Chain A
Amino acid sequence: MTTETFAGPQDFFQAQLRWHWIEIAFWLAMLLPFVLTPNYLVLASQIAITALFVLSLDLILGFSGIVSLGHAAYFGVGSYTVGLVSKWGWGEPLTGLLLGGIAAGLFGYLTSFIIARFRHLALIMITLGIGLLLVEAANSASWLTGGFDGLQGIHTWRIFNTFRFDLYGYTAYGYSLAVLFVVFLVARRLIHSPFGLALRGIRENGQRMPAIGAATGQHIRTIYTIAAIIAGIAGATLAETTETVSLESLGFQRSADVLVMLILGGTGRLYGGLLGAIVYMVARDQFSGLNPQYWYFWIGLLLIAVVVLLPNGILGGLTLLARRLKVAS
């Protein structure tokens, strides 16, 4: 904390809510791809969607301390819901988001009862197990999910009857970015609410929470459901903008990737996850020409480096740097 002085105790909490100029700059910079790199708007749209997904993981991992190796399950449920609804004739995008979010949220709510009861290795294995189970189930139920080939016949209608999703990606990126921003605002508000404080309490010292009267189980179930809804919305957005849904949206690869992105960027700060998603996906795109083996080699080294050198991820490193510069000046 800096040496700011506050007139009254509430000012501290008020100050945390104020928009830092870097935040505003960040969001304005998100508009740059429209102008600077119009050829990459499809990629930008993917990045925005993934950033939203990483955000949802940050809420349970970074803020509440729940390590999940199967978070893609909720992303996939959102994707498949939209895909199926669209295949059956309803392709309106905004209601699609709603349906995807609700479906994922329902699944999240049900699984949260199991999740909230465990910690440590058992929790990690259970999240992994739920994810793997869902993939196998989706694979087997190919009459519903299209199995290995994925869903066919998805067509997303225009947004407000005006904006059409096309190959250029303007609509896709605008849509994805808007969804990301709106959900981000909600997440930001949540972080600075009494509930957000309780979550941090759980992360900092889960044992102490019952001793101050906190119903920890209930808190965890709530945040897990909210995170599932957001992951579902991200999955739904992906299905709508790409008009495809496949098993990999549920798979372990996606769960692992999103974990790597969050750690890379830095947990527990919202922007860390966004940064991690951007860096990871841009890098992956740039190196996609390379043999995939090389990719895993460098990501492996990067992971080791982050754990050893930069425990708070890139954002943590940047914050440290900024602090040192401020002290020096």
Chain B
Amino acid sequence: MSENALATQGVNKSFGSLIVASDIELTLPRGVRYALIGPNGAGKTTLINLITGMLRPDAGRIFLDDEDVTSLAPEQRVRRGLVRTYQINSLFPHLTALESVTLAVCEQRGVARTWWRKLSVYRDEVDEAHHILSSLMLAPVCHRPTRELAYGQQRLLEIALALATRPKVLLLDEPAAGVPRDESKQLFAAIAGLPRDITVLFIEHDMELVFRFASRVIVMVGGRVLVEGTPQEIASDPQVRAVYLGKTAGALKHG
């Protein structure tokens, strides 16, 4: 088994003259929690898209557990355990929370193709879905259609969908984005409760989250990695402060 759950080598991408990713070298050892921060437009979500296969890099390679996955389609990477959540909720509006997660579980177990058996015989799959929802405090609302859920609950459902696919590497794209203060406690608890054997990279602007959960912070600006280090190192790094110029000094403590 490899030491690194996820690694990128020399990943480059540009749209015409706009360079969105320049020589990105990332290594995530197994089980860590790293944070990726940077101003808007730095290319963080683009990097996620490149890693998950939604975008093809112009150059470079992506390794999952030492396996080169650069040429694999997104769903194939998901099957190998590389999973992401979305910054803007990408859910199934008319499906209930339980149906959504059950779907993800069924896909993960490869039973989504059976059209001749009733869903109700798939007790294990439904149980697992319910279990995941319970661990995220969503069990009381599991029978409500997704679009009727509160925004914070929808963010949790995003994570539930990702967990249902049994990820090895989880890329969380701004999990706290748009979540009101009074709902963020459950979110933090959910992230704290993520199994230790999952490797997590999260993009965040919320510095409280970054400081609380990340052991290492990577700063991206203008498509390239500016600096890497522990949260304390980053917080006192003059280059990083310069990048966030315009925000008050206190901004680096709370997002």
B19 within 8 A of A: no
Contact of B75 among A193, A216, A222 (CB under 8 A): A216
* Whole-angstrom distance between the Cβ of A208 and the nearest chain B Cβ: 5
CB-CB nearest in chain B for A193: B115
Q: Which of B105-113, B196-204, B228-236 contacts A (4 or more CB under 8 A)?
A: B105-113
Assess whether A226 is in contact with B115, with CB atoms less than 8 Å apart: yes
Q: Assuming A194-B117, A222-B113, is B93 touching A12 (CB within 8 A)?
A: no
Contact B127 A9 (CB under 8 A): yes
Q: Does B130 contact A9, Cβ atoms closer than 8 Å?
A: yes
A204 contacts which chain B residues (CB < 8 A)? 92-95
Cβ contact within 8 Å between A13 and B112:
no
Taking CB atoms and an 8 Å cut-off, the chain B residues in 57-104 that contact chain A are 73-75, 78-79, 83-84, 86, 90-96, 98-100, 102-104
A177-219 residues with Cβ-Cβ distance < 8 A to B are 189-190, 192-198, 200-201, 204-205, 207-216, 218-219
Q: Is the pair A210, B130 in contact by a Cβ cutoff of 8 Å?
A: no
Asked if residues A10 and B96 are in contact (CB atoms below 8 Å), the reply is no
Q: A1-B145, A9-B130 are in contact. Are A212 and B116 (CB under 8 A)?
A: no
Which residues on A sit within 8 Å (CB–CB) of B78? 210-213
Residues of B contacting A160 in the complex (Cβ-Cβ under 8 angstroms): none
A214 and B75 within 8 A (CB):
yes
How far apart are A77's CB and chain B's nearest CB, in angstroms? 22
Say yes or no: is A14 at the interface (Cβ < 8 Å to chain B).
yes
Task: Tell yes or no: B12 within 8 A of A by CB.
Answer: no
In this assembly, does B226 line the interface, its C-beta being within 8 Å of a C-beta of chain A? no
Cβ of B52 under 8 Å from chain A: yes
Bound CA–CA A17/B113 (angstroms): 19
Q: Residues of A contacting B161 with CB < 8 Å? A: 208, 212
Chain B 218-238 interface residues, beta-carbon cutoff 8 Å to A: none
The answer to whether B106 touches A13 (Cβ under 8 A) is: no
Q: How far apart are the CA atoms of A11 and B31 in the complex, in Å?
A: 37
- How many Å lie between the Cα of A241 and that of B36 in the bound state? 67
Which of B2-10, B118-126, B180-188, B241-249 lies at the binding interface? B118-126
Q: Check if A205 sits within 8 Å of B117, measured CB to CB.
A: no
Q: How many whole Å from A252's CB to the nearest CB in chain B?
A: 30
Residue contact A213 to B115, C-beta cutoff 8 Å: no
CA of A222 to CA of B164, assembled, Å? 24
In the assembled complex, the Cα of A207 lies from the Cα of B143 at a distance in Å of: 23
Answer whether residue A21 sits at the interface, using C-beta atoms and an 8 A cutoff. Answer: no
Contact A213 B143 (CB under 8 A): no
B50 at the interface (CB under 8 A from A): no
Q: B47 within 8 Å of A by Cβ?
A: no
* A19: Cβ under 8 A from any B Cβ: no
Nearest opposing residue in chain A for B129, CB measure: A9
Q: Which residue of A lies closest to B79 (CB)?
A: A213
Give complex CA distance A204, B147 in Å: 11
Q: List residues of chain A with CB within 8 A of the CB of B130.
A: 9
Q: Indicate the member of A198, A219, A222 with the most B CB atoms within 10 Å.
A: A198
Q: Which chain A residues lie closer than 8 Å to B145 at the CB level?
A: 1
Q: In this assembly, does A6 line the interface, its C-beta being within 8 Å of a C-beta of chain B?
A: yes
Select B73's contact among A197, A201, A210, beta carbons within 8 Å.
A210
A212 touches B95 (CB 8 A): no
Which of B91, B116, B129 sits near A205, CB closer than 8 Å? B91
- C-beta contact mask, A213-232 vs B, less than 8 Å → 1, else 0? 11110110010001000000
- B142 interfacial contact with A, CB 8 Å: yes
Assembly CA distance A130 to B217 (angstroms) = 54
B17 cross-chain contacts in A, Cβ below 8 A = none
Nearest Cβ in chain A — how far from B130, in angstroms? 4
Q: Tell me if A212 and B74 are in contact (CB < 8 A).
A: no
Instruction: Output the least CB separation between A125 and chain B (Å).
Output: 25
B253 contacts partner chain A, Cβ-Cβ < 8 Å = no
CB A267 to nearest CB in B, in angstroms, measures: 12
Return the CB mask of B122-140 against A: 1 if under 8 Å, else 0: 1101110110000000000
> Knowing that A189-B116, A193-B114, A208-B86 are A-B contacts, what are 5 other residue pairs whose CB atoms are under 8 Å apart, sorted by A's residue number?
A193-B119, A194-B106, A194-B117, A200-B99, A212-B78
A-B contact pairs, 7 of them (CB 8 A): A194-B106, A198-B103, A208-B90, A213-B79, A213-B108, A214-B107, A214-B112
Interface residues of A, Cβ cutoff 8 Å to B:
1, 6, 9-10, 12-14, 16-17, 189-190, 192-198, 200-201, 204-205, 207-216, 218-219, 222, 226
